[in-house]
Every structure is written in structure tokens, then in C-alpha cells.
Amino acid sequence: MRIAIYQGPELPQSIELNLRSLELYANEAAAQGANALIAPEMFLTGYNIGAQNIADLAETADGESSRAIAEIAINAGIAVLYGYPESASGNVYNSAQVIDINGQRLANYRKSHLFGDLDRNAFSAGNEATVTFHLDGWQIGILICYDIEFPENVRNLALAGADFVAVPTALMEPYHFVPNAMVPTRAYENQIFIAYGNRCGEEKELRYCGLSCIVGPDGEDVARASASEELIFGTLDRSLLESSRKLNTYLEDRRPELYRDLRK
């Protein structure tokens, strides 16, 4: 499977222009052979735009923008995973949704671990820890940004059978450690591929790190972006996954009876 990540500076509160950008990069990614395109956290509206603006722009999972993205996916012939503010049952969630080349919504995940006041003032926390879907023979999990910084989240997905975890994110300065060290560690300790799709540029007082990456189960980069706008590609190699899992048997060697106190 060939994955593309669009690392871009989304336009705050401009859904129409962000959809145009998504269409452009979906077509370019498909032309270069990608099966799926990952766009960053809160791609649809911008992230640091204020709680009221987020609430005003929030949509249901099957709303107008999802239908527009379904058309983009169909026309480009590529699956699309994107971040957006989701309105559901009177709450607003920081969500990520994936739509396949037939325009079908395959999965929707709500960020479960909220980062600081920026998240807590705008969103409710999702309570479904393990969301996976199947695409082109791969079982894929979804997390959003801060979620990956909790090892339990990634381990849950690995134990649920995920081969690959997609992580749309909006990581800002000064947290370079996360894409540079933590993401490779999570991939290695769980023997999975991880695609970490960040933003770049500035949004109010935030400056985003960029450094989007696709990392293999051996902890090595398959692809990595700089700090600026970029479309990166990486191929997920099934043979690498199989050989790495034979060499590094972390999941088989676990002793969960010793970890019960982690629930405290």
C-alpha cells in the first residue's frame, strides 16, 4: 500500500478553500500511485480558531463536507482520511474520518485524550479507544495527535490487529521529540507502521512543527517531511512487517497479568 501525507498550512475557518486544497492534493497523490491520502488534524476548519468558531463550523459525520470529500475520493480514485470538528448529540468532537474510493465512510474516530485548554475548551473527549477499518488488505487504526503520546492507545490498536496506525495531528513548537523519537518508538514497540500527518506554518500564536513521517515496524523512516508545506509518500511493505515481527516478538512476550495495576 502506498500512503501520501499532505503537510500543509490550512486556512482558518475556510472550509471551501481547504476542500479545494484537498482536491488538488488528492489528485496529485493519486497520480503518483497512492492508495490513501492523510490530511492533518482539524484540516477542514483549522485548529486554533477558538471554541465558538469550532462549534459554529462543526458538522455531522455525514454532513455537507463529508459528501464533498466523498466526491473528491471518487473522482481522484484515492481514499481520504481527514480531521474535522464533528457535531453529534449536542457535543463537538475533534474527529478524523476516512472515506474510500467508492465514497463510503469507513470509520470515524473521536480524539480521546484532549490537549490542554485549547482542546478542553472546544471539544468533548471521545470514549471509543479502538477504531479500526480495512483498506486494501490492511487493518488500519486511527488516533489523533496527543493520543499517540499515551502508549496504551497504540498498544490497544496493535492488540486489536492493526498493521498500521494513521495519526492526523497538529503538533506545535517545541515538541519535536514526538515525531523524531516517540513515533518511531511506538512503531517499533508495537511492530506496526505509523503515519503521522502534521501541519506546518503558523496559526495565531502557534507555530506547527511539520516533520510528518511514515515509520516502519523497525523504527526506521519510510518517509519524512521537512518543516514546510509538502506532500510525502511511503510504501507499506508487508514483507517488512512480517520479518520485523518474527525478529521482535514484543506482543507475544507480554505478561499482561503483571500489568493490572496500570488501570489505577
Give catalytic residues, as residue numbers. 41, 111, 145
Spatial separation of the C-alpha atoms in residues 96 and 44, rounded to whole Å: 10
Dist CA 160 CA 133 (whole Å): 11
Of residues 5, 1, 7, the one with CA closest to residue 171:
7
What are 94's strand-pairing partners? 85
Size of the chain in residues: 264
Strand ranges across the sheet with 193-197: 132-135, 138-142, 164-168, 193-197, 213-215, 221-224
Best CA proximity match to 111, nearest among 121, 97, 126: 126
